[in-house]
Amino acid sequence: MMTAKKVLVVEDCSDVFELLQKGLALLGWNVALARSGREALNKLASDSPSVILLDMRTPEMNGFELMRILKAHPVYGKIPILAAGGYCGRITREQCLAAGFTDLIAKPFAFSELETHLTDLLSAGRPKTIDAL
């Protein structure tokens, strides 16, 4: 039995939010959406994502702030998290890895590139969902 591919997308831009929802669903992903860090924390209480795609600039808290909260949690801290940012020239992959992110993807990105990143995170021997923990 194959585990469902579940992704929590944390993105505040409505256009990007909608595009990611539709595009990832077409690629076979079960998509949960949050528009802020606080909403993401609430979604995690009810959803079991396999991976999180986290925009680095969201309302209420930025990606690094949310990452600190997630990594300190005994369950959420085990979920692979892909940082996404349109200003990745200022944030390096090394900074993201040091903060606890599993990887970084620069916006704009092609859906094929995003699919590769997300699939790689799932196949890296990490828990497939919170339920599996």
Write down the CATH superfamily of domain 6-126.
Answer: Response regulator (3.40.50.2300)
Per-10-residue mean pLDDT, the chain, length 133: 77 90 92 94 90 89 92 92 76 82 87 90 59 39
What pLDDT score was predicted for residue 97?
A: 86
pTM: predicted TM-score of the whole model, two decimal places: 0.86
Distance CA(42)–CA(34), nearest Å, equals 9
Domain ranges across the chain: 6-126
**Percent of the chain that is helix, strand, coil (3-state, to 5):** 45, 20, 40
CB hemisphere CA count around 55 (13 angstroms): 23
